[in-house]
Amino acid sequence: MNTPGLSQADQAWQDAQLALMALQVDPVRLGGIWLRAAHGPVRDNWLQLLKASSLKTFRVPGQVDDERLLGGMDLAATLQTGQVVHQPGLLAQAHGGVIVLPMAERLPSKVSAHIAQAQDKGQVHATHAHITSLAQFSVIALDESEEDEACAAQGLTERLGLWLDLRDVSMAQSSNTLEALGQSELQEAIGLLQQMQTSHEQVEALCQTALALGVDSLRPPLMALRLACVCAALEGRDAVEQSDLQLAARLVLGPRATRMPAQAQDEEQEPPPPEEPEEPPPEQEPESDPPEPPPEDEQEPEPPQEALEDVLLAAALASLPPKLLDRLLMGKASTKAAHGLGNSGQAKTSKLRGRPLTPRPGKPSAGARLHVLATLVNAAPKQRLRQNNPGSGRVAIRSDDFHVQRYAQQTPSCLIFALDASGSAAQHRLAEAKGAVELLLEQSYARRDSVCVIGFRLATAQVLLPPTRSLVRAKRALGGLPGGGGTPLASGIQAALLQAQMLHRAGSTPMLVILSDGRANVSLAGTGGRAQAREDAQTLAQHWRLTGYPSLWIDTAPQPEPQAQNLANLMGANYFPMPYVQAQRMASVVQDLSAQVRRA
């Protein structure tokens, strides 16, 4: 199942086929598959394999309402009979099967919460009646997000055992398919799985591996153990072996890693034992006959075998998430940060436009629109009480039945770049910062975000580019950014704060990215003096923190600067040191922060 010599893309495609086989054997306990792949022939080939398997699938659209998802009232039958007729939802219909979530990265949080709750409890409750239905199913989340975009919700992906990434697989590589799992082989594997045996040492090894990788949930080790059992059953064995555990650690634990194992090893490393004093060399003795060779029975002891935890950890290292070191340096996004950056700003409720929400009781006045279907659903069970004959074709509606439309409208976003163009920033670092900003501007333009560029040097800060979506204008403004002079850091933060407040009043969601070493030497009044300049910068950093806007501080100093770290803490910003400034890496860090803020 783990063929040596395969490229990373070939191995990913083979793992995707193996995951599909494992899901046929035990769909419920494995949770499901989080498949990251762009819409194209590679994903289509995998979906064809899913269609040809023994799994029954149910497609759940992203804008499904609660009644269709959880079950509710059959309106037509209820009006015809005068009694409440229950209609099962998609989750109840998928009992024992698989639900497919297209564009899972855009799935509303409410729908994700309903699916996660149904997976945990194994049942769903209908919306309009006290009816509980069994709902034990698996989930396949199709995620089309890019690196700089928000992916599927964490509450949903945590419950899916297998994380697959096919974004680097070519169409030619996806044409190599494994032999399909026959019905007799499937039944044999299910029978072996029921009598599978595992040892305490194997369970402990998986838990130790998860701990070393920073996986703090108990679900992944349990899913890894279950996958190891399924792999052993597919191989025709009734006991789990080391190769099964290696595969499970690579597919389940590796992609979930949140820290490098070396960190845990350094923390647990014991101090070296004290050196023993050297003994004087012994006196030379007269030559004697060479010692007799040891008898054949007394062979040298074999070297101790490698611990199982180390073997599993080495297997998991092969599938660590990309750019893990950069994400560890930056840390997790602040929970107080504003939601929705990039193509999704802060959400606000609207009466006329946006994404439809669940209707609520209310009167159609002050611009609110009547939701006809929800009004009929609320009035249907009460027709007999209102002395309305069933089947008459008329529905008695009262004002208490009225429901109104609601929409969630996303506000636009704006990236504010504050660039330190003073003499303390070396020219080569300033050039790389300009290149990173241009890369980010291109990506922001593709998502239709607005951008704002502020440069501070000499004695003041200057808004080089007001909030705009014009990529050509933005590049022209960056091209004319000179360097040299003092560092009026307080003026730069103040200018960014004023722009953020203006954007917030206009309905946009601001985010600040500061590129500076934090060594301020010009006060807010434009005069020299490091003490006053530092005090002004700290005061304005605290003012920024009170706004709650997300921010990122990229330290461009050759070594991490304590002043920059202190100011980032005062601002509530993510701090990222970058001794060797690279435009592509800097842009990637801002993309990761943007994606984290959108997922928050």
CA atoms of 154 and 119, how far apart (whole Å): 14
Q: Answer for the pair 82, 390: CB distance below 8 angstroms, yes or no.
A: yes
Residue written as tokens 């007999």?
A: 384
Please report the pLDDT score of residue 444 as a whole number.
62
Please report the pLDDT score of residue 126 as a whole number.
83
Q: Tell me if 123 is assigned to some domain.
A: yes
CATH classification at residue 229: 1.10.8.80
Please report the pLDDT score of residue 578 as a whole number.
76
pLDDT band at residue 182 using 50, 70 and 90 as cut-offs: confident
The C-alpha angle 386, 392, 398, rounded to 5 degrees, equals 35
Residue written as tokens 């009004």?
A: 375
**Would you say residue 391 has pLDDT above 80?**
no
Reported as type and span, the H/E element at residue 13 is helix 8-25
Give the rounded distance of the alpha carbon of 426 from its chain centre.
35
Both tokens assigned to 78? 């209820």
Q: Are residue 152 and residue 168 in the same domain, yes or no?
A: yes
Sheet of strand 98-101, all strands in order from the earlier edge strand to the far edge: 57-59, 98-101, 138-143, 32-36, 162-165
pLDDT band at residue 305 using 50, 70 and 90 as cut-offs: very low
Please report the pLDDT score of residue 343 as a whole number.
41
**Would you say residue 20 has pLDDT above 90?**
yes
Q: Are residue 150 and residue 248 in the same domain, yes or no?
A: no
Q: Answer for the pair 323, 586: CB distance below 8 angstroms, yes or no.
A: no
- List 33's β-bridge partners, or say none: 140, 162
Q: Tell me if 270 is assigned to some domain.
A: no
Distances (CA, A) of 218 to 35, 193, 197, 203: 22, 21, 20, 12
Q: Tell me if 365 is assigned to some domain.
A: yes
Instruction: For strands 123-125 and 132-134, give the pairing.
Output: antiparallel
Please report the pLDDT score of residue 265 as a whole number.
44
CA atoms of 552 and 574, how far apart (whole Å): 5
Instruction: For strands 574-577 and 551-555, give the pairing.
Output: parallel
Of 257, 274, 297, the domain-final residue: 257
Q: Tell me if 338 is assigned to some domain.
A: no
Reported as type and span, the H/E element at residue 140 is strand 138-143
Phi and psi (nearest 5°) for 581? -70, 130
Reported as type and span, the H/E element at residue 244 is helix 242-248
The residue type found at 353 is R
In this structure, is the dihedral angle defined by the CA atoms of residues 66, 72, 77 and 78, taken in order, positive or negative? negative
Q: Answer for the pair 14, 6: CB distance below 8 angstroms, yes or no.
A: yes
Kindly state the average pLDDT of the residues 520-533: 89
Please report the pLDDT score of residue 344 as a whole number.
44
Q: Tell me if 436 is assigned to some domain.
A: yes
- CA within 13 Å, CB half, 447: 26
Q: Are residue 402 and residue 466 in the same domain, yes or no?
A: no
- Is residue 541 classed exposed, middle or buried when 0-12, 13-18 and 19+ CB atoms within 10 A define those classes? buried
Residues of the chain with pLDDT > 70, as a percent, come to: 76
Q: Are residue 525 and residue 553 in the same domain, yes or no?
A: yes
pLDDT band at residue 98 using 50, 70 and 90 as cut-offs: very high
**Would you say residue 289 has pLDDT above 80?**
no
Kindly state the average pLDDT of the residues 46-62: 91
**Would you say residue 521 has pLDDT above 60?**
yes
Kindly state the average pLDDT of the residues 412-433: 72
Rounded mean pLDDT of the chain?
79
Q: Are residue 505 and residue 550 in the same domain, yes or no?
A: yes
Please report the pLDDT score of residue 499 as a whole number.
93
**Would you say residue 350 has pLDDT above 70?**
no
Q: Tell me if 298 is assigned to some domain.
A: no
Phi and psi (nearest 5°) for 458? 55, -110
Give the total number of structural domains in the chain: 4
Q: Are residue 366 and residue 476 in the same domain, yes or no?
A: no
Q: Are residue 132 and residue 232 in the same domain, yes or no?
A: no
Kindly state the average pLDDT of the residues 60-71: 86
The runs of H, that is alpha helices, within 36-105 are 41-52, 66-70, 75-81, 90-93
The residue type found at 109 is S
Query: How many angstroms separate the first and last alpha carbons of the chain?
Result: 37
231-279: per-residue pLDDT in tens?
Answer: 999 999 989 998 999 999 989 998 888 877 754 444 444 444 444 444 5
- List 513's β-bridge partners, or say none: 417, 552
More confident residue, 18 or 578: 18
Q: Are residue 420 and residue 521 in the same domain, yes or no?
A: yes
CA atoms of 492 and 457, how far apart (whole Å): 9
pTM: 0.62
Please report the pLDDT score of residue 2 as a whole number.
54
Q: Are residue 186 and residue 155 in the same domain, yes or no?
A: no
**Would you say residue 366 has pLDDT above 60?**
yes
Kindly state the average pLDDT of the residues 526-553: 90
Kindly state the average pLDDT of the residues 76-88: 76
Sheet of strand 347-350, all strands in order from the earlier edge strand to the far edge: 347-350, 407-410, 355-356
Please report the pLDDT score of residue 43 as a whole number.
93
Please report the pLDDT score of residue 25 as a whole number.
93
Q: Are residue 469 and residue 366 in the same domain, yes or no?
A: no
Please report the pLDDT score of residue 4 as a whole number.
60
Of 209, 242, 257, the domain-final residue: 257
Q: Tell me if 281 is assigned to some domain.
A: no
Lowest mean pLDDT of 35-49, 422-436, 511-525, name the range: 422-436
Q: Are residue 88 and residue 231 in the same domain, yes or no?
A: no
Residue written as tokens 């004093």?
A: 277
Please report the pLDDT score of residue 314 as a whole number.
75
pLDDT band at residue 393 using 50, 70 and 90 as cut-offs: low
CATH classification at residue 456: 3.40.50.410
Q: Are residue 403 and residue 449 in the same domain, yes or no?
A: no
Domain containing residue 537? 414-599
CATH classification at residue 52: 3.40.50.300
Lowest mean pLDDT of 124-133, 180-189, 442-451, name the range: 442-451
**Would you say residue 220 has pLDDT above 90?**
yes
Q: Answer for the pair 151, 145: CB distance below 8 angstroms, yes or no.
A: yes
Q: Tell me if 326 is assigned to some domain.
A: no
